[in-house]
Structure 1
Amino acid sequence: MEISYLEWNQGEKPLLLLHGMADNALVWSSLGDYLAANYHIVAPDMRGHGESSKPERDYSFESAIADLETLMDKLGWSAAHIVSHSWTGKLAAIWARQNPKRLRSITLVDPIFIWKMPKFLKLTFPLLYSVLPFLKSMGPFATYEEAEQKIRQLSQYKNWSSIQQQVFQTGIEQKPDRSWGSKFTIAARDGIFDAVMQVPGFITPIDIPALFIQPEKGVNRQNWQIQPYKTNLKNLTLKKVPGNHWPFLTKPEEFNQTVAEFLAEQK
């Protein structure tokens, strides 16, 4: 299993940045640059994404966590601060429960699907695949130009900044049939959804320092959505930021400052 990653190696404090489903490590470019002086930062492409290995099966949380612990061991890190987005927010909560000594803090950026999902919801997954905006980036597209035109309409790319353009260009490839599509694989999509459905994020309280970042136009807008985090994260800071589900792409200045302030408070 090969994990590709970006690295900022100016500072010393270990910091791991985990992207969400269908994204790649480059989404953290702005945050990495912002924090580089004080941290040793690594942003991996999760398995099934970007330039990392893309197995046909095994997208369990256990395997993803094992990938990250192997990477940390390679880097010589006994523990690290974790910033996680969307699906990897649930991964961070599970990791904090299973092996808390590896995590100094967890930052959850608009996390999703924290509970175990009812089995009947699996029947709706094909419908979800067709309507969830971020999965529309998978393609296929007849040409590169068509891919760019359609992806620029998605909410995470609405500013079309230089970083957003780089994220798009890094995450797309031409397929053997000459069409264009995401490097994120269908096997990874299906496997991650299965894992998300089967494994609860919270079983017992978690004491690790945690930051919940709530974008004003994110998916966590109601109190009932945030209550499980307030109940189970015993050392929780909640911060609201502007932007949508991808505040690090759409409102990076405010997002970067929020993360930096929380991390600065940790020992």
Structure 2
Amino acid sequence: MGAITYEELRVPVRGGHLTVLRWPATVRPPEQGAGPAPTVVALHGITSNALSWAGVAHHLAGRVTLVAPDLRGRAGSNALPGPYGMATHAEDATALTEALGLRDVVLAGHSMGAFVAAVAGVRHPERFRSLLLVDGGVGFPVPEGLNTDDLITAVIGPAMERLKTTFPDRDAYRAFWQNHPAFTRSWEPWTEAHILRDLTGTEPELRSSCLLDAVREDGADTLSSETARALHRLTVPGELLWAERGLLDEPQGLYDEQRLKSAAVDDTTIRSRKVPGSNHYTLLLGDEGASTVAQSLLAATGAERPPAD
């Protein structure tokens, strides 16, 4: 299958414009008729960017339109001002759907993006037909007694230190990620495109485009009890795909059966499913993980039938 190309858009939000990538639908089964193609809006994680969804776009293979913003404070949207937080990102995502005239949207989110999706689903249930939460959206145990930076570092691992580091060139940044435990067994073409989109500055002082203040504010909000309660206030149906392994490919992931039971996920509108062999990153950025996410999105949009050869 050839490369799936995207277009870059800018949509108005509070304080400026949100940069958005769109992979348009190119395949329409006859039974879908001549109306607009099904659309997925996809939200990335706390130190990520819109190209984290490129592998999913590859596996969607043009059967739906995929729209993924760089969230406020990251990549092409890092000039947008604060305040940040889940409610702000939820309003940005909703403004995106309004600006593009989207209705009956499937809203997906990975990691922090899943928490944003849950908050958006609570605040604007009329905009979204269903949610797909990818290893996020459900509160989980966090260490107590740490300051904000240490607490976020304890949860997201080396990602927080990366934001404070400069890199002499792109090869050094690539090496940083290739040595990350989550990627030692999985490195796809879209993985590299995603990490290079994150870079800003000039050699020999390249750095992540993620604003540290945005990550701090968003991290604290993601871990708050108010954000965790959003899941139990949802009326929109959806699915949680959770990774078997953690952010550093460790055996304990963010979730397991006991944690989901403690969070009473079965009492919500969200059904959950473990993805064996995946870790927090490869569930979205690995080939098998991206395929699994794409299949869930195709089912949610009603576009499951594969394109004809």
Query: Partner residue of 2:254?
Result: 220
163-172 vs 236-245, which deviates more?
A: 236-245
Deviation sequence 1:107-129 (CA, Å, 0-9, x none)? 111116627989x65x4322245
Deviation sequence 1:224-260 (CA, Å, 0-9, x none)? 3212252342352424243210134553235424542
Query: What is the 5 A alignment of 1:209-248?
Result: 209-218=237-246, 219-227=253-261, 228=263, 230-248=265-283
Structure 2's unaligned 5+ residue stretches are 1-15, 27-36, 247-252, 303-309
Within the alignment, does 1:153 sit opposite 2:176 as a pair? no
85-94 vs 246-255, which deviates more?
A: 246-255
TM-aligned CA deviation for residue 97 of structure 1: 1.7
Q: Is the 8 A contact 1:242 1:251 kept in 2?
A: no
CA 1:250/1:3 → structure 2, altered by over 3 Å: closer, same or farther?
A: closer
TM-aligned CA deviation for residue 174 of structure 1: 2.1
Q: Is the 8 A contact 1:163 1:249 kept in 2?
A: no
Q: Is the 8 A contact 1:26 1:167 kept in 2?
A: yes
* Alpha-carbon distance between aligned partners in 2 of 1:16 and 1:80, rounded to the nearest angstrom: 7
Q: Would you say how many aligned residue pairs link Structure 1 and Structure 2?
A: 264
Q: Is the 8 A contact 1:211 1:262 kept in 2?
A: no
Q: Is the 8 A contact 1:156 1:250 kept in 2?
A: no
TM-aligned CA deviation for residue 212 of structure 1: 1.0
Query: Partner residue of 2:52?
Result: 27
Query: Partner residue of 1:180?
Result: 206
* Alpha-carbon distance between aligned partners in 1 of 2:285 and 2:98, rounded to the nearest angstrom: 33
CA 1:117/1:258 → structure 2, altered by over 3 Å: closer, same or farther?
A: closer
Task: For residue 243 of structure 1, give the secondary structure of its aligned residue in structure 2.
Answer: coil
Structure 1's unaligned 5+ residue stretches are none
* Alpha-carbon distance between aligned partners in 2 of 1:221 and 1:161, rounded to the nearest angstrom: 25
Q: Which residue of the other structure, out of 111, 114, 131, is the alignment partner of 1:86? A: 111
CA 1:168/1:61 → structure 2, altered by over 3 Å: closer, same or farther?
A: same
* Alpha-carbon distance between aligned partners in 2 of 1:61 and 1:133, rounded to the nearest angstrom: 22
Task: For residue 47 of structure 1, give the secondary structure of its aligned residue in structure 2.
Answer: coil
* Alpha-carbon distance between aligned partners in 2 of 1:167 and 1:28, rounded to the nearest angstrom: 9
Query: Partner residue of 1:108?
Result: 133
Identity %: 19
* Alpha-carbon distance between aligned partners in 2 of 1:117 and 1:222, rounded to the nearest angstrom: 15
CA 1:167/1:262 → structure 2, altered by over 3 Å: closer, same or farther?
A: closer
